[in-house]
Amino acid sequence: MKKKSKFVLFFMLCLMVNPLISLGQIPDQVIAGLKAGDAKIVASYFNENIELVVIDRELVCSQAQGEQILKDFYTRNKPLDFKITHQGGEDSSYAIGKMQTGNGNFRIYLTLKSKAGKSQIVQLRIDKD
């Protein structure tokens, strides 16, 4: 009986801790999309209006416009590698990453908020590194 109650206690503890582990985490699909240069995957996480900064171009645009701008960036700068260097947050998550392309290196900044249980990118910034 003692073993059973220890197991139940351990199981309950795991259930309570698991949601805490995911706080501040950027969805794997977003990271994979950035790494592969797949604007469609990344844009599927865009908020309906996204603040987008690509090098010196800054605008607030719709999800579809943001996808097209990101696609244009990837056409000129095909990613060779992308790595998250820092991430965190609770109510809103953020990540900073480095992207290597054939045309140089870029620093990527992402800000996400949870909306209806889904992480949505509200800001994406791409700066020359």
Report the chain's C-alpha Rg in angstroms. Answer: 18
∠48-96-25 over CA atoms, to 5°? Answer: 70
pLDDT above 50 for 62? yes
Task: Give the amino acid at 46.
Answer: F
Which domains does the chain show, CATH number per domain? 23-128 (3.10.450.50)
Helix, strand or coil, per DSSP, at residue 79: strand
pLDDT, tens digit, for every residue of 13-54?
454 443 433 445 789 999 999 999 999 999 999 999 999 999
Tokens describing residue 77: 């700068």
Which residues are CB-contacts of 16 (< 8 A; sequence separation ≥ 6)?
none
Strand extents, DSSP E, 55-103 = 57-62, 79-89, 92-101
pTM of the model: 0.78
pLDDT above 70 for 7? no
